[in-house]
Structure 1
């Protein structure tokens, strides 16, 4: 029997029966009594990721140092293998992606490589809503060139403190701009920027442009190569479920393979030259040239198993379900929580929305604490934001329905008032 009342548990259960990705939930370790909606901060562990980590430990146990060239997955080529597996998720060619470093370390590498101030072309454009680490990195890179961040970092303003107007970004692309770096998805509001359009506008003005994909990789398909994006970097522990502190990733368009890395290191060497121990750096002829130090293999291994799941699921299906889940969550919030003054602050349009719902409330910090004590795991973002990320591979529509009912009960009973309205050490 078809259920038409979308605000009922039966309707949510019906959506789960129709879900083509539902069987992937069994591949993850989920607590039976908890609803986990924080996958845009740290994704859950999958059984496949656990297996690939145990396999690299077994290789170390069996082969010792010979694990670099022996075993099922020789360590010497591990970063390139993961890069090749990651490339379809960002629409890149296999040799344009490398798994290495962290999002911040990779950003430093890429800006050091691509930011070449000359004469009056000496500014960087970013935005005022970006995650702080990106701004810290951009400011420090300017200072390394003897440039003042106050004068040479242009941060595009937001009219509402939640989203960016792409026309404002384009207007900031003036003749004195040498480089642009923007988030693909804003970490608070979940706004998805039009990467293709912004790249085209930047290149029309002879400006290099790169993107932070931390909140989009694994949730949203991209076509970085076809769009001509110059560079990108990201972490792998959010939607890609690579584990806490997982090794990050970077993309460099093949048109830039001839560039010398701004920060050279021995693992950027051409493989056949690396152990010649020469003091003359011979970079690899692909994105691997932009690696620096030895790969952190134990922090990279879980990603191998996780990427296998994404290849089996298909990113287009993941995105389709994600949009359906966030839309359903917004409808429930509006219907069930209308009396409690929540405001949905993320974009409503599918083409502008990332992988999470962002709601605002003056008591957001204490509401998040009450949710956690009721076994719903959200994410608080200062000063008054609650992020809820229903993840396509391991969350269900019924969990969305149940979480909204729990939140409604918390508000009706004023349970949140027993908590202090300030974040814990880690929000």
Structure 2
């Protein structure tokens, strides 16, 4: 669609920032005034509230010692449940269906160990070929623990274009041999948002349990896990939820599965009133808390107290509204300013199929990412040719998006990227 030149101007970007109802939240975060951070889909920035609540928990440890488990502003014994209540509106589950525990991969192991029950011809697990590697490693190892060959019993739905997965292809792969399905809510490379509700209904119509990896959607996209009747889900909290590097993970278990014994039992999965009886007879909690294994990582959880307060104030619906608008604005600028420079937008453009980041493809992607960093723009590289750019609704401005595209244009016109090797860094 043809637009007036003003639409692509710096002044227009500034005007959008003035109209942004979420603009005040930017001041909550520690921002480097000399750079633009577009990697919040890998690691979110530190907020002042997250820092405050982390220090409050550290102070409780300092002043109360072991009494911090039951005393103080944030008693540690109940902290996982407190954070579950704050997380519930973001995923559309009740607070007793959620627990903060472990890490993404640990929680996936727990959930597969619990829900994968091969029987008769139903022995296979279905995933997709574009899934995050750690999920695939976990599924392969779980199959091996059951004595199955992953090359025969792990179905990975093929992509037609190496970017996205068609829901029709997923449904077609739901055969009588499938016992369990694990899919991402949003594909980590292309940013495609799957139709969670449809896929859940299709799986259940065939007697298959289904769970979702929400790492690239929770905190950016509203979910309705209970309404959609999803069996289980799991996610990290250090991307859009800004909990800090290596922050604690979360899991969701639909209440219809309450009472199911966890595949991997541990003492913090006990009923809280009986946990310290120290009996060798495990009595699991009657909630998602049963799926905890070990002692909560209290210092890892502490920043989330403050971070989730921000989400409660901002609301996930308003965050999604801005996210869709600012990513559409960025795509519009890319198509206007970078035409003929070898770039391809690899993410879906439809609002209903797009997550929170832009997938920009280029054969020189690794070199361009290094040039962007030299220009004080922090992107994310995914081999072999993807530049991921995430304008995070809480703290990215429209001016920063405009400026990023202008700097990209300069990098390409001046061939600044040619000074770098087209290889990734150790951490990408």
Per the shorter chain, which TM-score range? Answer: over 0.9
Partner SS for 1:226:
coil
Is 2:331 aligned against 1:330? Answer: yes
Per-residue deviation at 1:339?
A: 2.2
Q: Does 1:160 align with 2:161?
A: yes
The 2-side partners of 1:4 and 1:44 are apart by 33
Give the secondary-structure state (helix, strand or coil) at the position aligned to 1:244.
Answer: coil
Whole-angstrom distance in 2 between the partners of 1:330 and 1:405: 13
**Structure 2: which 5+ runs fail to align?**
none
1:100 has 2:101 as partner: yes
Q: Return the alpha-carbon distance in structure 2 between the equivalents of residues 87 and 115 of structure 1.
A: 25
Aligned ranges 1:74-153 → 2 under 5 Å: 74-153=75-154
Give the TM-score normalised by structure 1: 0.99
Instruction: Say which SS state the counterpart of residue 180 (structure 1) adopts.
Output: strand
Tell whether the 8 Å contact from 1:359 to 1:385 is kept in structure 2 after alignment: yes
The separation in 2 between residues aligned to 1:55 and 1:340, in whole angstroms, is: 50
CA distance in 1, matches of 2:123, 2:89: 34
What residue in structure 1 maps to residue 272 of structure 2?
271
> Which residue of the partner structure matches residue 298 of structure 2?
297
What secondary structure does 2:131 align onto? coil
Partners of 1:53 and 1:301 within 8 A in 2: yes
Is 1:175 the equivalent of 2:194?
no
Distance (Å, rounded) in 1 between the aligned partners of 2:74 and 2:137: 36
Shift of 1:5: 1.7
TM-score by length of 2: 0.99
Secondary structure in structure 1 of the residue aligned to 2:233: strand
Task: For 1:239 and 1:298, locate their aligned partners in 2 and report how far apart those are by CA, in whole Å.
Answer: 19
Distance in structure 1 (CA, Å) of the matches to 2:237 and 2:291 = 18
For 1:288 and 1:88, the matched residues in 2 are separated by 18
| Aligned residue in 2 for 1:60 | 61
Cα shift at 1:94: 1.0
Q: CA deviation at 1:4?
A: 7.0
Once the two structures are superposed, the pairs formed by residues 253-402 of structure 1 within 5 Å of their partners are 253-402=254-403
Structure 1, residues 131-160: CA drift from partner, whole Å, max 9, x if none? 000000001000000011011100000011
Deviations 1:265-320 (A, max 9, x none): 00000001100000000000000000000001111110111000000000000000
Aligned pair count reads: 425
Cα distance between partner residues in 2 of 1:366 and 1:356: 20
Compute the displacement of 1:386 (Å). Answer: 0.3
Structure 1 residue 81: Cα displacement? 0.7
Secondary structure of the residue aligned to 1:215 is: coil
**Cross-structure match for 1:252:** 253
Aligned 8 A contact 1:97 1:287 in 2? yes
Partner of 2:114, secondary structure, is: helix
Cα offset for 1:223? 0.2
Answer yes or no: is the 8 Å Cα contact 1:219–1:354 preserved in 2: yes
What residue number does 2:206 align with?
A: 205
Instruction: Write the distance in 2 (CA, Å) between the matches of 1:422 and 1:176.
Output: 41
CA distance in 1, matches of 2:421, 2:7: 34
Question: How big is the shift at 1:84?
Answer: 1.2
Q: Aligned partners of 1:424, 1:307: CA distance in 2, in Å?
A: 32
Trace 1:218-237 onto structure 2 (pairs within 5 A).
218-237=219-238
- Aligned residues: CA RMSD: 0.7
Q: Could you say which residue in structure 2 is the equivalent of 1:35?
A: 36
Aligned to 2:8, the other structure's residue is in SS state coil
| SS in structure 1 of the partner of residue 340 of structure 2 | helix
Residue in structure 2 matched with residue 193 of structure 1 by the alignment? 194
Question: After TM superposition, where is structure 1 displaced by more than 3 Å over at least 4 residues in a row?
Answer: none
Tell me which residue corresponds to 2:419: 418
Distance 2:305 2:340 in 1: 46
Tell me the distance in 1 between the aligned counterparts of 2:254 and 2:5. 48
